[in-house]
């Protein structure tokens, strides 16, 4: 129950972040595709968290398993969107970006395919902890994808930090990189978690990452970068 509530909190947090980014995009003098994609990423993240909050509203294990699979599908679409921002920052050519997107989406298809082929029902323990009981290989592939993308996000921001003029903008890049890394650490542990302590750590990382990103966007709302 507490885990589902935390996912609902993340859903609303993601909506707030998406609204803030969309506000910056709409209110800006120029329309940045990076901002638009970043906002779409957090809209998708809201749906992703909503699918994970299934047990707050229902208790059917069969539909809960499908809710998990839908969350994984949304996760890989999210990965493609955030990679479009990251690779654009790094100046990767459109052709090479397309190859990366294709690889990510094919990985997502493979993961979901394994989940459906090896269909398992989640397990709700007496303490209320939810073991999603996912296919182990699929779970590891999803975890590593999330973590590797967060590392690329950190690299993209820090390697370009010299292009951010002024200390406030440099601080913004560092905070966004830290938030992304924290979300990546959450993803690294969340998909194949079988212990409650690790699940709690995963949610703590997610809260820290969400807080850093949201507070940074709110604090620097008037400093709209393109």
CATH code where residue 73 lies: 1.20.1070
User: Which domain covers residue 127, as residue numbers?
Assistant: 2-219
- Tens digits of residue pLDDT in 189-223: 877 666 777 878 888 888 888 888 877 876 655 45
Determine the Cα–Cα distance for residues 124 and 129; give it in Å rounded to an integer: 6
- Tens digits of residue pLDDT in 57-104: 667 888 888 888 999 999 999 898 888 888 887 888 888 888 888 899
- Tens digits of residue pLDDT in 42-58: 888 888 888 877 665 66
The confidence score (pLDDT) of residue 4 equals: 63
Domain-located, residue 226: no
Query: Percent of the chain, pLDDT > 70?
Result: 83
Determine the Cα–Cα distance for residues 43 and 40; give it in Å rounded to an integer: 5
The confidence score (pLDDT) of residue 108 equals: 92
For residue 165, what are its two tokens? 């003029």
**Number of folded domains in the chain?**
1
List, in sequence order, every residue forming a beta bridge with 131; answer none if it has no partner. Answer: 123
- DSSP, collapsed to helix, strand or coil, labels residue 132 as coil
Domain-located, residue 225: no
Which CB contacts under 8 angstroms, 24+ apart, belong to 54-62?
Answer: 54/4, 55/1, 55/3, 55/4, 55/124, 55/130, 56/1, 56/4, 56/5, 56/7, 56/8, 61/121, 61/122, 61/124, 62/121
pLDDT of 149 > 50? The answer is: yes
- CA-nearest of 114, 115, 132, 121 to 199 is 132
Domain-located, residue 172: yes
For residue 125, what are its two tokens? 């323990």
Q: Which helix (H) or strand (E) holds 131?
A: strand 130-131
Residue with the bigger pLDDT between 29 and 64: it is 64
């Amino acid at each position: 129950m507490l885990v589902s509530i935390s996912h609902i909190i993340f859903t609303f947090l993601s909506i707030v972040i998406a609204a803030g980014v969309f506000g910056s995009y709409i209110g800006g003098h120029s329309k940045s595709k990076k901002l638009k994609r970043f906002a779409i990423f957090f809209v998708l993240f809201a749906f992703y968290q909503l699918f994970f909050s299934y047990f707050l509203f229902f208790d059917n294990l069969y539909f809960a398993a499908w809710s998990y699979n839908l969350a994984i599908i949304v996760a890989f679409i999210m990965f493609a969107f955030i990679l479009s921002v990251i690779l654009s920052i790094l100046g990767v050519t459109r052709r090479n970006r397309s190859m990366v997107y294709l690889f990510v989406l094919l990985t997502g298809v493979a993961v979901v395919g394994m989940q459906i082929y090896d269909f398992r029902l989640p397990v709700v323990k007496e303490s209320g902890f939810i073991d999603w009981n996912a296919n182990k290989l699929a779970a590891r592939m999803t975890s590593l994808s999330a973590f590797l993308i967060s590392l690329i996000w950190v690299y993209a921001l820090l390697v370009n930090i010299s292009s951010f003029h002024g200390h406030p903008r440099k601080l913004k890049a560092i905070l966004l990189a830290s938030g992304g890394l924290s979300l990546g650490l959450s993803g690294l542990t969340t998909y194949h978690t079988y212990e409650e302590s690790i699940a709690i750590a995963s949610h703590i990382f997610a809260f820290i990452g969400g807080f850093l990103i949201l507070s940074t966007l709110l604090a620097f709302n008037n400093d709209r970068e393109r």
